[in-house]
Structure 1
Amino acid sequence: MMQKPVFSFFKSYWAIGILLILPILSAWVSSRPVKEKDKPKADKPNIIFLLTDDHRWDALGVMGNKVIQTPNLDALANSGVLFRKAYVTTSICCVSRASIMSGQYESRHKINDFSTDFSADALSKTYPILLKNAGYRIGFIGKLGIDVKNQPDSLFDYWSSPKEGQPQYELVNKSGKIVHHTDSVNTDIRTFLNQFAHKEPFCLSVSFKAPHELDGNPPKYPVQERFKDLYKNANIPDPVTADPKYWESFPDFFRTEKNIGRERWVPLLSTPELRRETTKDYYRLITGVDEVVGNIQAQLRELNIDDNTIIIFMGDNGFSLGEHGLEGKWFGFEESIRVPMIISGKPLAKKVKGIKSDKIALNIDIAPTILSLAGVKIPESMQGQDLIKMLAKNKRGRNDFFYEHTFMGSPRLPKVEGVVSQDFKYMKYIEHGYEELYDTSRDRHETANLAKEAAFDKKLAEMRKRYLELREAAK
């Protein structure tokens, strides 16, 4: 809470003198000719960035999912731009969130675990602090996801983030009542908007825990009471690659019960019944987030600031729900690295309304896009690009990108790097020299590894070369 200023009492004749002078000063100021440099700058948009945790690309109605209910996010996408090929450059929360804030690959920002945070200099070049220096009010709500020992809360105008790596789903509020994390985030958003709506411009960054599992033995998906019966009778189809033969096709270093992706698969996805109920809970948590999105839009209208507010939505990484016999993210499969991404808002209506883009968009593009929307210069240190400019007809966009995941290592999480293009995917498990090559234009479920097929020797050589080029460029 901001403190009220303390005023000293002057002697009465000083007070009377000031009261007499003020009208004269006011008349003089109002009669002065307004110089160009004194004119107020054009309104800058408010920006709300919403981030879900472990949200795979196809867990939205607008992305073709016939089961999940996300009406508010679908409407947001239909009124703005939906990036149907959005990806993260590293599929784990601490790294991806650092990439989002800095606009950099892991190879450059060097945050590759849960105990490393931004240096003071690196933090000063993240999008929230650059916006603050440009006159924006900045707020952060939810899970930070980067080292929590040195939270940058003092730099923000509003901060509501627990000092723990993974917040709980069930929180106890000041009244002793248990509140779901998503509902708590909703309350904080409402508080922020009421406080800063008319102190524009502002940038609010919101990070949900949903739909991330609650870690434990076994892991769980605590959902809000009002959503527990949602999807009760829904038909959840089994993934193509849930067939055991796909897990059995992995090499020995990967196909081990010590692999975290397999370890977490056992209690949540190892039977058709478990897989269906876990998927329903996962969807329920996302529908809870969708409800908050609807509340935000309603409040923006109530406050009469919807005309000048842009909303950006994405997931911090994807999530396997049994594909390839795995649970989680980390590896280079489409379920792991591909995420939902939406940019919408009335200030952009003429540029992006109703666009469904198949250009490759990345998490490292968020920071430069936000800065560009705010009219703030993009630092040369950022490796992403302005997505709105990329959508221009004369902008082709990127053909491919570098993927890296080097946290932990074998046998728990084998390290992997590679290249993802519009039509092919090359992944190399760098501790073992094992390669994967998928023709994603024809094999969207990544069922056939072509790396040892003689017919694809030329393509494999091409992707190997491109991998080395991109790996060097990412530094």
Structure 2
Amino acid sequence: MIIALLLFAQGAIGQQAKRPNIIFLLTDDHRWDALGAMGNNIIQTPHLDALAKRGILFRNAHVTTAICMVSRASLLSGQYMSRHGINDFNVDFKPAALADTYPALLKKAGYKIGFIGKFGIGVKNQPDTLFDYWAAKKEGQPPYELVNQSGHLIHHTDSVGKDITQFLERFAGKEAPFCLSVSFKAPHELDGNPPQYPVQRRFKPSYENVKIPDPLTAAPQYWDSLPAFFRTDQNIGRDRWKPLLSTPELRRQTTRDYYRLITGVDEVVGNMVAQLKDLKIDQNTLIIFMGDNGFSLGEHGLEGKWFGFEESIRVPLIISGGALPKSLQGRSSNQLALNIDIAPTILSAAGLGAPSAVQGYNLLAVEQKKLPARKDFFYEHTYLGSPRLPKVEGVVTEDLKYMLYTEHGYEELYDNAKDPHETVNLAKRSSEKTHLAKLRKRYEELKREVK
């Protein structure tokens, strides 16, 4: 009997050891095409491109709300904003809701959990005591220049890299697996008047002699075509456009700095992957990389996210690492992947089911054809409202996009398959009445379902 119990215990430990380590990497304001693997021939992201080559590159990944605190709550909970209810920078997870986030569920299942960087949800009640390792200041937006314990200035991206190194040294190779969530501030602007892009000194020469093309919809006619309630200097997207993107020279400088910050992130990712190999845990580690929302670099005469344009809602997404099933390595996926899918994907990788309130699903199960791919999703952005940020909701399908500015009853319809830059609003064309009617109906259905 004793021998049998010992064998059972050894088997349980062996099974536990096989559970993968999981690392989730999140960038801030990282648009979908600011990645070499996504076809950008200017930006230098060799380490992220290598992850994509060895894993799954999701070419059609989006967020359900393009603003940091809402998207981060959706990433942790697997829920739309309409369900998790976090739509303000000072609102945090209540204890019951926090207990159903992926880090808390993994900890309950025996994982060691860590968080590094910008938490971005609430300020006063951030859940530092939940984590076995916490390296995040309780503030809404961390500065780029930090003072380390030695009293020296360190860039936020470099600080995140040092904390990753420390976490891995402490938790790698232990009996319990780990889940590390990393949130970079980069390439988010440094808020201020004017906003700035503080770049690490070593990356300042990068892209200096590279030609940065102007976006098609940066031409004035595309801003001028927007409705009067939107086309105002009070619009935050326009307000921030002025000091950063309002001339070709400013636009090129801002884009270069934006790319430099992303290249800084890429360097940290490369160092992390090398450390995983040195620690001999790379083959039992799953790595997920995503942006919390996109970012307009002058398209439609705007700077920032918030609205329903592709630059705002579409993001990079990679799932890679040695723990990814061999059959899924080295592939490109066109499935509609969302930020609400991250939590259930992570939980499934750890052998756990998702709570009933989760609205996303396991992306790997879709790739393995165990689940059908989604055909559309609901988009919502209700923070602030007009005139600063006009509220918008809508439906995004594989080809079409319907957006409704709910305070004004103004509709947009884009055929993203034929018009990827969203240059022509088809909503008032009689030839599109059928499409419009179907999408209006689907919008009402999804609006009810997401609550």
TM-score > 0.5 by shorter chain: yes
Give SS of 2:379's match. Answer: strand
Q: What residue is the counterpart of 1:171 in the other structure?
A: 146
Query: Please, which of 437, 446, 450 is the counterpart of residue 461 of structure 1?
Result: 437
2:308 corresponds to which letter in structure 1? G
1:60-75 maps to which residues of 2 (within 5 A)? 60-75=35-50
Q: What residue is the counterpart of 1:14 in the other structure?
A: none
Query: Please, which of 14, 20, 23 is the counterpart of residue 48 of structure 1?
Result: 23
Q: What residue is the counterpart of 2:123 in the other structure?
A: 148
Q: What residue is the counterpart of 2:207 in the other structure?
A: 231
Cα distance per residue 1:281-323 (max 9 Å; x no partner) = 0000000000000000010011111110110000000000000
Give SS of 2:323's match. Answer: helix
Contact (CA 8 Å) 1:141, 1:161: kept in 2 or not? yes
Distance 1:390 1:127 in 2: 19
Q: What residue is the counterpart of 1:115 in the other structure?
A: 90
Contact (CA 8 Å) 1:223, 1:281: kept in 2 or not? yes
Which stretch of the first structure deviates more once superposed, 59-68 or 389-398? 389-398
Q: What residue is the counterpart of 2:450 in the other structure?
A: 474
Q: Are 1:96 and 2:68 an aligned pair? A: no
Contact (CA 8 Å) 1:79, 1:349: kept in 2 or not? no
1:461 corresponds to which letter in structure 2? A
Q: What residue is the counterpart of 1:190 in the other structure?
A: 165
Distance 1:248 1:221 in 2: 28
Contact (CA 8 Å) 1:344, 1:352: kept in 2 or not? no
Q: What residue is the counterpart of 1:126 in the other structure?
A: 101
Distance 1:96 1:354 in 2: 28
Deviation of 1:348 (Å): 1.3
Distance 2:159 2:327 in 1: 34
Q: Kindly tell me: are residues 33 and 98 of structure 1, through their superposed partners in 2, closer, same or farther at Cα, counting changes over 3 Å?
A: closer
Deviation of 1:66 (Å): 0.6
1:299-338 maps to which residues of 2 (within 5 A)? 299-338=275-314
Contact (CA 8 Å) 1:409, 1:415: kept in 2 or not? yes
Query: Please, which of 412, 428, 448 is the counterpart of residue 436 of structure 1?
Result: 412
Q: What residue is the counterpart of 1:426 in the other structure?
A: 402
Distance 1:181 1:34 in 2: 48
Distance 1:221 1:96 in 2: 22
Distance 1:458 1:50 in 2: 41
Q: Are 1:285 and 2:261 an aligned pair? A: yes
Contact (CA 8 Å) 1:80, 1:349: kept in 2 or not? no
Q: Are 1:39 and 2:11 an aligned pair? A: yes
1:114 corresponds to which letter in structure 2? F
**Structure 2-normalised TM-score?**
0.98
Distance 2:4 2:368 in 1: 43
Contact (CA 8 Å) 1:371, 1:378: kept in 2 or not? yes
Contact (CA 8 Å) 1:139, 1:156: kept in 2 or not? yes
1:92 corresponds to which letter in structure 2? I
Q: Kindly tell me: are residues 469 and 272 of structure 1, through their superposed partners in 2, closer, same or farther at Cα, counting changes over 3 Å?
A: same
Q: What residue is the counterpart of 1:408 in the other structure?
A: 384
Distance 2:338 2:407 in 1: 26
Cα distance per residue 1:424-452 (max 9 Å; x no partner) = 00000000000000011100000000000
1:69-88 maps to which residues of 2 (within 5 A)? 69-88=44-63
Deviation of 1:396 (Å): 3.6
Distance 1:396 1:303 in 2: 37
Distance 2:211 2:366 in 1: 38
Deviation of 1:39 (Å): 2.6
Which stretch of the first structure deviates more once superposed, 46-55 or 196-205? 196-205
Q: What residue is the counterpart of 1:139 in the other structure?
A: 114
Q: Which runs of 4+ in 1 moved over 6 A?
A: none
Distance 2:294 2:192 in 1: 20
Q: What residue is the counterpart of 1:446 in the other structure?
A: 422
Query: Please, which of 345, 350, 358 is the counterpart of residue 334 of structure 2?
Result: 358
2:189 corresponds to which letter in structure 1? E
Distance 2:306 2:160 in 1: 26
Distance 2:10 2:56 in 1: 36
Deviation of 1:392 (Å): 1.8
Give SS of 2:432's match. Answer: helix
Q: Are 1:221 and 2:176 an aligned pair? A: no
Distance 2:4 2:202 in 1: 61
For structure 2, the residue ranges without an aligned partner over 5 or more in a row are: none
Larger radius of gyration: 1
Give SS of 1:452's match. Answer: coil
1:311 corresponds to which letter in structure 2? I
Deviation of 1:354 (Å): 1.0
Contact (CA 8 Å) 1:87, 1:363: kept in 2 or not? yes
Identity, % of aligned pairs?
68
1:182 corresponds to which letter in structure 2? T
Deviation of 1:175 (Å): 1.2
- The number of aligned residues is 447
Deviation of 1:393 (Å): 3.7
For structure 1, the residue ranges without an aligned partner over 5 or more in a row are: 1-27
Q: What residue is the counterpart of 2:270 in the other structure?
A: 294
Give SS of 1:82's match. Answer: strand
1:362 corresponds to which letter in structure 2? L
Give SS of 1:204's match. Answer: strand
Contact (CA 8 Å) 1:210, 1:286: kept in 2 or not? yes
Distance 1:186 1:430 in 2: 42
Q: CA RMSD in A?
A: 1.2
